[in-house]
Amino acid sequence: MVGSFLNVVIYRLPRNESVITPRSKCPQCSSMVKWYQNIPIISFLILKGKCANCDFKIPWRYPLTELTVALFSLLLMPVDLSPQALFNYAFFFSVACVFLAHLLIDLEHQLLPDKLNIYLLLVSIPYVVLHFPLMHWLLGALIGFFGPYGVTALFYKLRGVVGLGGGDIKLFGILGFILGPLGIINNIFMSCMIGSIIGVILIALKKLDRNAPFAFGPFIILAATLQIFFPDIVELINPLYIK
């Protein structure tokens, strides 16, 4: 059911709607979705990807999000049920879900909601404080927030253009809190590198105008995902990785 709730979050947060009430409804005919029509993946297959009332096509994002969350749960499943293992599982699963929600929202709306950033910070505090020393998360948060903020402010003063949105800067700060000073420096470098490569490719293919707004959040999230869940891969693909 987490995947189904995450779909609600992804749809409603950018529209400033409550994620608690009312019940889910079809965006076309406004008919309420019954509980048995809201079973992750299974309901989509039974309904053949359409609203039961008006045949409105349900976007593929919904079952794919539910499937992805199910995979998160399986891949991160602890090998034992000790308090420490369950604590770690709750943290990493929550981070993965926030990353997925941020990714899909930013791709569609070019927005990283404050509520998701706040939730990410809140679920990170117990894990980070218990696992890392004060200077790790304090310096990381300061570098993560004020580094991008300073560069963005300078860029705006020189060019009159906003480089990074507030959501991006806040996300950098929270990731700095989690990853530490060296980790956030690596994240900034990798996200800029990945974003630049993708941006050049899209411009070359004429899929993106040079002056068009460009969502940067997905690249921050991709870099952070590699760092948190696949650290060995990061060292292989990034020759400038700072240890």
Answer yes or no: is 2 within a domain: yes
Residue 94: CB partners within 8 Å, gap ≥ 6? Answer: 119, 120, 123
Answer yes or no: is 24 within a domain: yes
Structural domain boundaries enclosing 12? 1-63
The whole-model pTM stands at 0.91
Residue 100: which of 233, 225, 228 has the closest Cα? 225
Answer yes or no: is 22 within a domain: yes
* pLDDT score, position 9: 96
* 51, 37 contact by CB (below 8 A): no
Question: What residues form DSSP beta bridges with 32?
Answer: 25
- By the 10 Å C-beta count (0-12 exposed, 13-18 middle, 19+ buried), 120 is classed as buried
* pLDDT score, position 109: 94
Place of tokens 């906003």: 162
Separation of alpha carbons 164 and 156, rounded Å = 10
Answer yes or no: is 99 within a domain: no
Answer yes or no: is 109 within a domain: no
Q: What total number of domains does the chain contain?
A: 1
SS3 at position 57:
strand
* pLDDT score, position 148: 95
* pLDDT score, position 161: 73
Each residue's pLDDT expressed in tens, for the chain with a length of 243 residues: 788 999 999 999 999 999 988 888 888 898 888 888 888 889 899 988 998 888 889 999 999 999 999 999 999 999 899 999 999 999 999 999 999 999 999 999 999 999 999 999 999 999 999 999 999 999 999 999 999 999 999 988 887 777 788 999 999 999 999 999 999 999 999 999 999 899 899 888 888 887 777 889 999 999 999 999 998 877 776 655 555
* pLDDT score, position 220: 97
* pLDDT score, position 54: 87
* pLDDT score, position 140: 97
Q: Name the DSSP class of 243.
A: -
